[in-house]
Structure 1
């Protein structure tokens, strides 16, 4: 059985990455409340379902994308149940076709490894290389469920606080698309 801890409302005592530490420092500074759980490494959708049940929310799907030249980057946030179609995404933004960005670029730009992509990664993007793109359906949810920058820490935050407070603080104004 997949381990999911009891719900906590404080930052971890020890951080496993610079990004994870920045996440909790930023939420504290912005006075954004959260609930979080610690887990085994979440790999499958079944793992995410157990996290969703514990936190009573729906985890978002966060994809790190780029153009073929690897000069334009997108952090696409959608609902977990929607399949990703690069053509539809590119058409919605009127851009050339995108694909998944290489793992090493995700780690370099967002400070996260595969499986831990999160909106909080923009804290590491000091050069504003990444355009944050939300599927409008994510914004219909009261709660925003995501990784804390690790594959073993997940949290829920009010969606409006991510959109209006956090992203403004991180200097990443999102684009909203319908897919």
Structure 2
């Protein structure tokens, strides 16, 4: 895998959601590094990419409440285990579960395996609440997919929090996940 600065020179064969991600980041003037790779739709595959980009790619979970009236995007370190009960108590929402793929497409224009904070640029109605584990906030860089799971980005955490999120109209809530029984 090679590392590139910015968007691909040849955009042929790339999905429009990926190109829109690069367009949005470029419009905001946010620099990023990128690598292209085989499908990486689970954390084990992302571990190889981590080493290439020298960043930890976040585990991104798209969740909802039982009634499907509240949707959440949770960013956490890939090595942590997700415990529903632990998160539910912090955000005061019981009965959390994984949201349906149809809801991912509807709100984030993302398919399973490519869930990423970048999808918030597509959530113009601010229907999705962003939750970030405190350990992610301590890293200088965030690793994520550009709305597809065949490329990965390395972006400064500060740029994501201070430039990207405000441009999408989203804020975030910090959560503290231990990932223990």
Alignment size in residue pairs:
175
CA distance in 1, matches of 2:58, 2:152: 11
Which residue of structure 1 lines up, in the alignment, with residue 75 of structure 2?
77
Which residue of structure 1 lines up, in the alignment, with residue 100 of structure 2?
102
Q: How far apart are residue 10 of structure 1 and its match? A: 2.3
Which residue of structure 2 lines up, in the alignment, with residue 153 of structure 1?
151
Alignment partner of 2:120 out of 99, 119, 122: 122
Give yes or no for contact 1:19–1:124 (8 Å, CA) kept in 2. Answer: no
Kindly provide the CA deviation profile for residues 34-70 of structure 1, in whole angstroms up to 9, marking residues without a partner as x.
Answer: 0000001113433211101110111101110001111
Q: How far apart are residue 135 of structure 1 and its match? A: 0.5
Give yes or no for contact 1:33–1:157 (8 Å, CA) kept in 2. Answer: yes
Unaligned runs of 5+ in 2: none
Q: What does 1:1-179 align with in structure 2 at a 5 Å threshold? A: 5-12=1-8, 13-14=10-11, 16-179=14-177
Give yes or no for contact 2:42–2:113 (8 Å, CA) kept in 1. Answer: no
Give yes or no for contact 2:17–2:147 (8 Å, CA) kept in 1. Answer: yes
Q: TM-score, normalised by structure 2?
A: 0.92
CA distance in 1, matches of 2:38, 2:58: 18
Give yes or no for contact 2:70–2:128 (8 Å, CA) kept in 1. Answer: yes
Q: TM-score, normalised by structure 1?
A: 0.93
CA distance in 1, matches of 2:14, 2:120: 18
Unaligned runs of 5+ in 1: none
Q: Which moved more, 1:19-28 or 1:62-71?
A: 19-28
CA distance in 2, matches of 1:34, 1:24: 9
Q: How far apart are residue 22 of structure 1 and its match? A: 2.0
